Structure 1
Amino acid sequence: MKIEKEGGPSKRKLSLFDATMLVMGSMIGSGIFIVSADIMRNLGSGYWLIVVWVITGVMTVAAAISYGELSSMFPKAGGQYTYLKEIFGKMMGFLYGWGLFTVIQTGTIAAVAVAFGKFTAYLIPALNDAAPIFQSGGYKITWIQILAIGVILLLTYINTKGVEGGKILQNIFTGSKIVALIGLIILGFLLVKNSFWAGNMSFGQDAFNNLKTDPSGNFLKSGWESISGMAIMGGIAAAMVGSVFSSVAWENVTFVSGEIENPKKNVVRSMVLGTSAVMILYLLVNFVYLNTLNRDSIAFALNDRVAVAASEQIFGSGIGTIVIALLVMISTFGCVNGIVLAGARVFQTMAKDGMFFKAALKNNKNGVPERSLWMQGIWASALCLSGQYGNLLDMISFVIVLFYMITVFGVIYLRIKQPGLERPYKTWLYPITPIIYLLIGAAFCILLLIYKQQYTWPGLVIVLLGVPVYFFINKKEQQD
């Protein structure tokens, strides 16, 4: 295998600080404010809630540390797509890129943008109260969806004006949400008079008294009772769908490696610093939930908005709602910007390999892939209108972890097959770190296949639909 040297027209405008802000900003969207409700419904105990977030944190940081070795070997735009293509061939790279464009990247943009719209509706109730713009049967287009599309198109436009504008916006919004989250964490312990910590942290037999579940296997409000170890494992896997999805997108920084200063060192540094900081923040935010709310209030928070319920306990009902609405708006706006900025670079790299529309190939006068940005933005906007982005993301979490596992396995594969390749950075505690990720990831995927199949096969189908597309593109390329 020949490692290509970095190059091309991209100028290196992103520092280590910028790259770390991109990692953190892309990770922190709306999930941390919502998914803990579903985790509590699945597992019934604050103890297991924390276990889920700790496992997710270990997974995430282990993957970031492992990716660092690949980022130092292939320090160019395209990131994970490039790693998979270089290690396992063009087809594997294409299938990842196909999944990224069809749903992983664009679906995330759509889902987070709609979350921005929904929390904006807290401050502007007319958005919620307005009649749908269009409705036919169960399908409808609302003003919240239109607002989401407006945000996507605005941020796409800003990013076509150059990396500098997107970088500044990213740093401002990421910095703001980090400060706001730290403030929420501190006040969540200082201002709350009645702590529910001790009751929430019970576990084992006592945590599941009188267990009853709904058809999906979630615990019902009427009680919690003893369950078997395997059922707990299945519950953990199902609960981790939310925590895993709230902790992805850190790899977006690898997509813009071509624009990062000293990428052989700064990409891995940004991934490890960013993922570690975010997972610590996530744990602390969950500590606030467990301190301010009882078990049922977390599990059955209105519309799963646990952060709103906790904030109302801290600041009072009126102010608390406004505080969280503003925080989520800042968080989701910055998250969409980071994902928009990074994703287009992958599709441009795919176009260079003949694996994507040729129009995505060229940079504009500002040195950014404008057409690739607009293709991504238009498809993400279409997903907003589809109303299916949330379901797609549930389905794709399984596939995201599979691609992470394949990429992490690539570190071990290259060590065995080509030990002599230059590795400016080597994975810490190799082979323990990648093996930890592979073991947890495999357990997660196997348990989902057993207990929550609706989260598995649809995502696989979406990715496998890329196989005939790949052969069609390859055939056309050979004919040309």
Structure 2
Amino acid sequence: MAELRQRNTNVEIKYEVEPVVKLKRNVGLISGISFIVGSIIGSGIFISPKGVLTETGSVGLSLIVWVSSGVLSLLGALSYAELGTMIPKSGGEYPYFMEATFPVVAYLFSWTRTIVLQPSGVAIICMTFASYMTTFFDYCGSPAPPEKMIAALTILTICIINCYDTSGAAFVQVFFTAAKLLAIGIIIIGGFVKLGQGGDKELQDGFKGTTDSPSKIALSFYDAMWAYDGWNTLNYLTEELKDPYRNLPRANIIGVLLVTVVYLFTNISYLAVLGKEGLLASDAVAVDWGKEMLGSAYIIMPIAVLFSTFGAANGFCFSSSRMVYAAAREEHLPEVLSYVHVKRYTPLLSVTVTGIISILMVIPSDIGSLIDFFSFAAWMFYGLAVFCVVILRFRQPHADRPIKVFILIPIIFTLCSIYLVIAPIIQDPRLEFLWAFLFIVGGLLFYFPFVVFKLDKGCFDKVTMFIQLLCEVAPSPYIMEDLSGKTDNEREKRDN
């Protein structure tokens, strides 16, 4: 506890000043780009990128879809850059909904993302990590432990890293992103070698076999856009980003463009080495590519998948815990979840909750079907968040906007998001979509009694105090910073 002393004649007055416990700005431009790239590039590009090719029917159109999906992600990233620099708070879409006067939408977003979307994503990625890890036990001739046990231990390891130190989590992200880009670089270089040896036959055929079905083309975009999911990761940790007014838009743009180029050349390499038929027949494209080009050294590819999935899971855990932290600070979740460790300056409790739910998600036998039923919800919230750009242009026309995008950019992205929400429901209507919708709306059962009417009346104060003492955490108020990095308190001292 700090003390300030002031002498007034013979009277000594003591003022006790609470030290501010808040998240530290440990994420720079390079680590920010790593969070974006590492979160986008998970296991998909290494395992089975054949969905787009199956729907489009031709090599040429499939490559166009990959690039167009990158452009669409870039539109979203640009819109999020305006929102993130105008409202420099952690939590991704959550603070944008709050600022656009949509507290109910913000609550439903935090409810859905906390309980299902992010934990399921972490669980699925770690299950993929576990499935590839077991192959090494077979390779060594040892009995493999259960995949779910490996996945749970992986989640636990990632949570410990994120609880211990933000800089450490950022370093992990940079390392594993560099490792996966190195592996992808091997694939791209191998593709160019194959093209030089006459492997461009598939590319010469171009648009042969292109589908004439608009619905299939739309579904190919849907598949590709999910491969780009994670482009908004950095907006979840704005308060931990160094110089966010410069680094947030730079990292968003560089990260998405880098992934777009990587996806394009990686698919070209797959086609040059395996051919169209070989790619469509493969369930693990990177491994089959490795067997064709690297021979006995193909073991590099499963290792690349391990690095890729671990990095993606770390990015998901990092970002999802910041959303829990932001929602709890607004009392849309238990406020204690927004408390920060007094020594580590990490959101220990929000990371812990994310990890526990993710481990629970590993238990069901088919997590993939669960996330499929809620996939439309993610794009619904993406579209609403980007539309907040348009809303805030009218509601706060004179607000400070370090980045201001052309108004058609958020409008185009919103229209595409609406289609991505409606398309799977129209294409394959199932009862599960109704159950998913009811689950989202079901969050209102907690919103009105506990958020609007605050019926708890301090019933959990003793529990909160116990958790604070046990975990060494303290409240973390948001302190607005201006472009110079000065806080409200610092500006007040300067003005006086």
Q: TM-score, normalization: structure 2?
A: 0.82
**Cα separation, partners in 2 of 1:191 and 1:43, compared to 1, 3 Å:** closer
Equivalences, count: 436
1:357 paired residue among 328, 334, 346: 334
**CA drift at 1:200:** 5.8
On the 8 A contact 2:74/2:256 being kept in 1, the answer is yes
SS at match of 1:453: coil
**CA drift at 1:478:** 5.1
Aligned to 1:330: 307
Task: Give the letter for the 1:163 counterpart.
Answer: T
2:378 pairs with 1:397: no
CA distance in 1, matches of 2:160, 2:102: 34
CA distance in 1, matches of 2:204, 2:441: 42
Q: How does 1:244-283 map to 2 (within 5 A)?
A: 244-283=225-264
**CA drift at 1:379:** 0.5
**CA drift at 1:471:** 2.5
On the 8 A contact 1:244/1:397 being kept in 2, the answer is no
On the 8 A contact 1:392/1:459 being kept in 2, the answer is no
Residues 293-325 of structure 1: CA distance to partner in whole angstroms, max 9, x if unpaired? 222221221xx2122222222112x422x1210
SS at match of 2:390: helix
CA distance in 1, matches of 2:374, 2:68: 19
SS at match of 2:340: coil
SS at match of 1:412: helix
On the 8 A contact 1:26/1:250 being kept in 2, the answer is yes
1:37 paired residue among 50, 55, 58: 50
On the 8 A contact 1:107/1:393 being kept in 2, the answer is yes
On the 8 A contact 1:160/1:368 being kept in 2, the answer is yes
CA distance in 2, matches of 1:264, 1:159: 24
Aligned to 1:207: 209
Task: Give the letter for the 1:350 counterpart.
Answer: A
CA RMSD after TM alignment: 2.4
CA distance in 2, matches of 1:201, 1:444: 31
User: Which is worse superposed, 99-108 or 439-448?
Assistant: 439-448
On the 8 A contact 1:255/1:342 being kept in 2, the answer is yes
Aligned to 2:422: 446
**CA drift at 1:380:** 0.3
**CA drift at 1:432:** 2.6
SS at match of 1:18: helix
CA distance in 2, matches of 1:359, 1:306: 45
CA distance in 2, matches of 1:383, 1:201: 45
Aligned to 2:39: 26
**CA drift at 1:267:** 1.5
1:297 paired residue among 266, 278, 284: 278
Aligned to 1:309: 288
Aligned to 1:78: 91
User: Which is worse superposed, 372-381 or 258-267?
Assistant: 258-267
Residues 373-407 of structure 1: CA distance to partner in whole angstroms, max 9, x if unpaired? 11100110111111332112222332212111111
CA distance in 2, matches of 1:396, 1:51: 27
**CA drift at 1:247:** 1.0
Residues 202-221 of structure 1: CA distance to partner in whole angstroms, max 9, x if unpaired? 466x516xxxxxxxxxxxxx
Task: Give the letter for the 1:390 counterpart.
Answer: G
SS at match of 1:351: helix
**Cα separation, partners in 2 of 1:159 and 1:256, compared to 1, 3 Å:** same
CA distance in 1, matches of 2:217, 2:401: 36
On the 8 A contact 1:196/1:292 being kept in 2, the answer is yes
CA distance in 1, matches of 2:197, 2:369: 37
**Cα separation, partners in 2 of 1:458 and 1:311, compared to 1, 3 Å:** farther
Residues 69-122 of structure 1: CA distance to partner in whole angstroms, max 9, x if unpaired? 100111122221111121142111111111211222111111111111112223
User: Which is worse superposed, 29-38 or 454-463?
Assistant: 454-463
Aligned to 2:26: 13
2:444 paired residue among 457, 467, 470: 467
2:131 paired residue among 105, 111, 118: 118
Q: How does 1:373-412 map to 2 (within 5 A)?
A: 373-412=351-390
CA distance in 2, matches of 1:310, 1:456: 37
Structure 1: gaps (5+ residues):
1-6, 132-141, 209-226
- Give the share of equivalent positions with the same residue, in percent: 26
**CA drift at 1:29:** 0.8
CA distance in 1, matches of 2:187, 2:111: 39
2:151 paired residue among 145, 148, 153: 148
1:344 paired residue among 321, 327, 331: 321
2:187 paired residue among 184, 187, 210: 184
CA distance in 1, matches of 2:421, 2:117: 17
2:212 pairs with 1:237: no
**Cα separation, partners in 2 of 1:453 and 1:193, compared to 1, 3 Å:** farther
**CA drift at 1:130:** 5.8
On the 8 A contact 1:37/1:305 being kept in 2, the answer is no
| Structure having the higher Rg | 2
CA distance in 1, matches of 2:180, 2:54: 27
CA distance in 2, matches of 1:16, 1:367: 20
On the 8 A contact 2:21/2:340 being kept in 1, the answer is no
Aligned to 1:369: 347
**Cα separation, partners in 2 of 1:460 and 1:33, compared to 1, 3 Å:** farther
Task: Give the letter for the 1:156 counterpart.
Answer: C
**CA drift at 1:340:** 1.4
On the 8 A contact 1:237/1:448 being kept in 2, the answer is no
**CA drift at 1:16:** 1.4
**CA drift at 1:18:** 1.5
**CA drift at 1:369:** 1.1
CA distance in 1, matches of 2:202, 2:413: 32
Aligned to 1:223: none
CA distance in 2, matches of 1:329, 1:319: 16
Aligned to 2:14: none
On the 8 A contact 1:76/1:257 being kept in 2, the answer is yes
Q: How does 1:88-99 map to 2 (within 5 A)?
A: 88-99=101-112
Aligned to 1:423: 401
Residues 111-155 of structure 1: CA distance to partner in whole angstroms, max 9, x if unpaired? 111111112223222899969xxxxxxxxxx71111011111011
CA distance in 1, matches of 2:290, 2:326: 43
2:74 paired residue among 61, 71, 78: 61
